[in-house]
């Protein structure tokens, strides 16, 4: 429901400024949350049966063809960022940290999407709907990439644990 009426120029300006503030604000808030708070076993992050360890993303969504083109926000965060484009190590501690970072990234993108309905406050309904579509188009591929990465990493960690168990 539109409550604020502005000239077109200022409405467009507010749209761009609001998205910038939302993205930066949510990211800066989320990097301050201790990594231990992101539990891969929590309902929102838990692998789903239909994901089949990441195969759903490979076979149905062909994620390997487009995932490499997604931006990695770690570049802009400097030392607070965690690069997710490739594995830097293969140790279990690093992989477990990577899994938690995928949870942080996924939740960050879900929160950004939740802000989209606020654009109805100063936009016409059609533009408000476009803002929701924009939020989904921009964030869902990144969420899917995090879920795919997490599925694969959890599989690797599971293999390492099974291998260690068979040696003892």
Secondary structure of residue 94 in the 3-state scheme: helix
* Cα separation, 133 vs 110, whole angstroms: 13
pLDDT in tens, 23-76: 999 999 999 999 999 999 999 999 999 999 999 999 999 999 999 999 887 667
pTM (two decimals): 0.89
**Residues of 140-152 as b/e, b for ≥16 C-beta within 10 angstroms?**
ebbbbbbbbbbbb
CA 165 to chain centre: 33
Secondary structure of residue 4 in the 3-state scheme: coil
pLDDT in tens, 82-137: 766 667 788 899 999 999 999 999 999 999 999 999 999 999 999 999 999 999 99
Q: Which two tokens stand for residue 86?
A: 């490739």
Radius of gyration of the chain (CA): 19
* Cα separation, 79 vs 71, whole angstroms: 17
Sequence spans of domains, the chain: 8-167
Per DSSP, 44 falls in state: T
């Amino acid at each position: 429901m539109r409550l604020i009426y502005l000239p077109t120029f200022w409405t467009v300006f507010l749209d761009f400024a609001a998205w910038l503030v939302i993205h930066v604000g949510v990211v800066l808030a989320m990097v301050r949350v201790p990594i231990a708070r992101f539990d891969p076993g929590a309902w929102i992050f838990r692998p789903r049966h239909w994901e089949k360890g990441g195969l759903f993303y490979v076979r149905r969504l062909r994620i390997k063809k487009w995932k490499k083109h997604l931006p990695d926000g770690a570049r802009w965060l400097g030392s607070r960022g965690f690069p997710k484009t490739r594995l830097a190590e293969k140790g279990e501690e690093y992989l477990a940290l990577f899994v938690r970072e995928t949870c942080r990234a996924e939740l960050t993108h879900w929160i950004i999407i939740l802000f989209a309905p606020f654009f109805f406050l100063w936009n016409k309904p059609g533009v408000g709907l476009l803002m929701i579509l924009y939020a989904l188009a921009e964030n869902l591929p990144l969420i899917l990439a995090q879920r795919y990465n997490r599925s694969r990493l959890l599989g690797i960690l599971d293999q390492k644990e099974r291998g260690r168990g068979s040696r003892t």
